[in-house]
Structure 1
Amino acid sequence: MLPFSAAADRNKDVVLETLRPILANRTKVLEIGSGNGQHAVHVTNALPHITWQCSDLPDNVPGIAERLKQDGNDRTPAPIALDVASPPWPLPAPDGPEAFDAIFTANTLHIMSFEHVEEFFARAGEVLCTQDGALCVYGPLKYGGAFTTESNAAFDVQLKSWNPVSGIRDFEELDALAQNTGLTFAVDHAMPANNQLVVWERG
């Protein structure tokens, strides 16, 4: 049986429609932390101009590969093993013909330590060196240190009980990291289940 995320299945349509205008003039997406590969399949089936490169920690790559083998297409290449905390990332040259012009990640930054979040933004800035690069981050956020809902506050407590270095991140801290690597805040979309989809762009 293929690995399956009920949350990814529930939010796939709203994620697609939110990404649609962002990806309208972009062609190659790198997903960090692809989980089960469900977003890759759904987006590329709907947007035939998009190639979507899945990546995840080595233990998760076989499950993603099986999903792409069963449900993917010629624009969902084999997933790659990528650990945010272990640079350099095994990717094409950012100024070459295979360069990525968009990065997408969902429900990852609150799982990582903040040091790994810093590494994520630093490497994302290197990957998205083209003028039209876009970084898209999906998940729960805080604003000015405040949670958007009581359920997110409870979720943060639960996260920290599992791993003290994890937790819901502050938008302002993420925006500062993005700015440090040359990315500029573009838009913040409110999403279902108390999540956000924030986009930073190059230039």
Structure 2
Amino acid sequence: MNPISVDNVVTTYRFYAPLYDRLFGAAFEPGRRALTQAVRNLRPSSLLEVGVGTGLTLSQYPSTSRIVGIDISTHMLDIARERASKLTNHDIKLAAMNAESMDFPDGSFDCVAMPYVLSVTPNPEKLVAEIRRVCRKGGTILILNHFSGSRFWWFLEQAVRSLADKIGFRSDFCFDEQILKYDWEIESVKKVNVFGLSKLVVIRNT
């Protein structure tokens, strides 16, 4: 797995911030809809979104939940704050934070949602340890991410590998290594986005 640095992530999303919605909004929207529907079904009193980006999911979360969104990119957060300011019926707080080292106390949230973040973080294991720490025991963790292994996508992964390395995205990201190795309880796995490019994984934080 190729290394990704924090500086690499920040630089990448500084460039992509004004373009992100047009480049990745519609393409990844089915996955976001599946994630936010899962949150609405849960109706958690508190929700943390890790990697809130430009805030594309914020309007779809329950208005009854206390919502906190964090992102390492201040440029992405500027757009998210503009979106959040229009959602007057939601309780939303946004903050710049490195998700591999969060400021929240243990067990701060009933639910942690992580859309399209796990394969772009410098240290996935450290991130997983942090989301498990800040999610209360028995709470729910939702991971939405691309995972390699599909025969169809293998050819695409090879084609974009060099570009993916430059922008800080792991195209070869194994589900077994990144999800199944942990001692948490996987409640469901759902394929989302075109040709099942991504998976939505619902996890009980045991």
TM-score by length of 2: 0.74
Of structures 1 and 2, the one scoring higher in RCO (CA 8 A, sep 6+) is: 2
Matched, 1:103 2:123: no
Per-residue deviation, 1:12: 4.1
Q: Percent identity?
A: 15
Local SS of the residue matching 2:126:
helix
Whole-Å separation in 2 of the counterparts to 1:66 and 1:140: 28
Q: Deviations over 1:35-78 (max 9, x none)?
A: 111112222xxx2322221111142221211111124533222x
- Give the TM-score, by structure 1 length: 0.75
Where 1:197 maps in the other structure, the secondary structure is strand
Map 1:1-203 → 2, pairs under 5 A: 4=21, 5-21=25-41, 23-24=42-43, 26-43=44-61, 47-59=62-74, 60-71=76-87, 73-77=89-93, 79-85=94-100, 87=101, 89-91=102-104, 93-95=105-107, 99-113=108-122, 116-128=123-135, 130-142=136-148, 147-151=149-153, 153-155=155-157, 157-163=159-165, 166-176=170-180, 178-179=182-183, 183-193=184-194, 194=196, 195-203=198-206
What amino acid sits opposite 1:69 in the alignment? Answer: S
> Tell me, what secondary structure is at the counterpart of 1:110?
helix
Does the CA contact (< 8 Å) of 2:30 and 2:192 recur in 1? no
Q: 1:13 to 1:75 in 2, by over 3 A?
A: same
- 2:3 counterpart residue number: none
Q: Which runs of 5+ in 1 are unaligned?
A: none
Structure 2: give runs of 5+ residues left out of the alignment: 1-17
Instruction: Write the distance in 1 (CA, Å) between the matches of 2:142 and 2:88.
Output: 22
Q: The residue matched to 1:62 in structure 2 has which SS?
A: helix
Cα distance in 1, alignment partners of residues 38 and 159 from structure 2: 29
In structure 2, what residue type is equivalent to 1:6?
A
